[in-house]
Structure 1
Amino acid sequence: MSPNSIIWVGYFSKIALMKTSLDIASIRNDFPILNEVINGKQLVYFDNAATTQKPRLVLDALSGYYEHYNANIHRGIHHLAEKATAAFEQTRKRMQSFVNAEFSEEIIFTYGTTDGINLVASTYGRKFLKEGDEVIISTMEHHSNIVPWQMLCEEKGCILKVIPIDDNGDLLMDEYEKLLTERTKFVSVVHVSNSLGTINPIKEIIEKAHAVGAKVLIDGAQASSHFHIDVQDLGCDFYALSLHKIYGPTGLGILYGKKDLLNAMPPYRGGGEMIKEVTFEKTTYNELPYKFEAGTPNIADVVAAKYALDYVDTLGKSNIATYENGLLKYATEAVSEIEGLKIIGKAKNKVSVLSFVIDGIHHQDIGVLLDQQGIAVRTGHHCTQPLMNRFNITGTSRASFAVYNTTEEIDLLIKGLHKVKRMLG
């Protein structure tokens, strides 16, 4: 494809994107890192499925906490402690609104989605699952939603079942129904695939699981930045997500759980804050949500996370989704013109994730050569090795788009891929 033809690829998609209600130039100015120069080229950041960049107001909130009211929370009565506690709990209320939980105490702060899944497997799973019970996951799960259940099943003598997918990367729902039995006690599936971008029919999955009496956890790591999450409407029992996928700090996530289930679960870790009273003879545990939040938490990042959520809501989730879907359409049309390139994951309902392989060229080499041109993509199995085995590949190159990306950056990606082909094809 010549440079002139690139201009015409996805022409109507580009016109549609230009009419968006979002001021993309202004949004890009909110993210200082986009001014970085990599190998003499301005950064093109297409690794948003791994982590999103942070707007200035989040960075300012982090430094503002440490500069003006750094203190431990909940236990202090002095001014700084009370101010820090108030800011910390404001984020909990903000997260409650963000996922539409019924109660603020249903929001448990974690280290991330992985931690939230482990919490449920290690508490609910160990207490309520027994030998012969069945747990269902899917072929497209991240390792974080495979390994904890494997560990639990090995420990408890449970049976792990896997929902298959088709060649487009969609779950085979008929096969899912066949897997469900009266022995199915837990279903844990990803809302959106980090490798394929597939949006799964979560509400249907939950309804069918509940029909046989199973509880359901949803891995929302990839979904939470792209569209509105309503846990009450979904009806899920647990929902885990990471803030660093939503323009917030790393090392922070939340686990939503229905209040009655969280109350029935034993603590995950022991220490300060999660207790009411400690003697050498017996310890009584704190109420929700503190029962699951042992020790000094990640206070600064929790405080700053509220500003990330506010930023997303100011832009509007529907506006973000519309814009990102336009970027995906534009990029999909563009890469489809590259000879020897195959897209992995062609589900009809996708978020802005584009995984691909190129005949005869290793995905890691693609990533290295693009990085030399200032373009950041992710390469490898994306912590979904069983999924890669399903497609009989070792990995992909993955470009994932966020609200600050542009069609001009996608044009640079296309040019970069042509250079890769000239050098290695």
Structure 2
Amino acid sequence: SIIFSGLFPNKMPSCHLITNMVILHKDLVDDFEAFCRANSSPLLLLYRSKCGEWSCSPLATGSDIKFFHIRSIVCLRMDIVTFYLGCSFGFEAALMAAGVPVRNVEQGKNVSMYKTSVTCIRAGQFHCPMVDAAAQCTHVIPLAHGGPLLGIHDLSQPDYGDPVEECPGDVPVFWACGVTGVETVQSCSKSPLMAFTHSPGCMFITDQKAETISPLTLEPAHCPLTFCISQNPQLYSMASKKAVQQIRAIEELDVEDPGMKQHTFDPQKTINNKFVRLAPESGIGDGGNELGMGKVKAAVKAYMPNGNLIACDVAADFAITAGVSSWGSYAVACALYVLNLCPIHWRYLQRGLGLSATPDQQSLWTACLPTVAKEEEMLQILVKYGIRSGKTANLGLEVDGLTFHPYHSDIIQRLRNLTLA
């Protein structure tokens, strides 16, 4: 393949929309478009030209690809197609306007680009690893997947672009990169007779202005929020503002005191953001004696009757406190449902490939939600086999001294309403 260079090198962030380019023979274009559609984050397709179309009127009036590289004019034919792909340079100016330093721009260097261990979804004859660009930014935007997750072992050795010098307090920030198109062309199982791509850092500048959209103007379903899961190693999670609002509403309902458990301590005094920080080891409890509640042992001793006697010593990574322990379990199931159907969180889980949950996956998560009928049937089975209430010793449909109707059934239905809203 021929690396197509000689466009406009990026020295400072442009206020115009900038695109990457891939030029292929017409026999390969359908497969390549399918590859772009399947991997929309690194290869966001903005425009596909017609065969032999040298201009790109939707993006740049009067443009002519033939004149961007004089030495290659003789190679350009009427049976090739140009793909114009989204580029991360389009938002560097927005980052700087928001007060986030972009080190490669400050240092006059090309952005660092790395081959990752994340494999793009194969389509036709194309398959390759995703390329991620990186800049050294402060914690103002703490979206850091981190090296280990991406298979990047040495930030000082980029595969494309220039290494960038870190400043104290910098956090590596990664995003999918259009240089993936270069890797895509090279991966083609049927070697193309001729192919052109942009040279990394030298892209096509359009007439269109790069829109700067404040997160405050986004709809809650599309406004991302980030949460630190751990500091060592440094890991973050992400969800939409809408999903976080739903989960927090679920959490508030989960800790309701039904009036018969007056001594339940206030979980907000002990731990915050429990559900948006879901960890491998979590403990669910309502009184402090349950496994995992050692995380809040001091609070149990301070707030619970006989706390010194009942406080559990075993600590989980996170303590999920609830009005009734089973309500905490219901809330976890509901929170997982919201997270796994959140497009922002799903994209994070897929390492930015741009996939979305399928209807089958949505049905699977829906089936895992608690229902009044399912929980009532479970209690009926326990009663059938003589299992009595641990609090009152009654043989009936109750948990922790609360009858299933109206207490538990009401909570279950309200949780479902919040989750499915």
The normalised TM-score by structure 2 is 0.21
More helix per residue: 1 or 2? Answer: 1
Kindly name which structure, 1 or 2, has the bigger radius of gyration based on alpha carbons: 2
1 or 2, which has the higher strand percentage?
2
Higher relative contact order (CA 8 A, sep 6+): 1
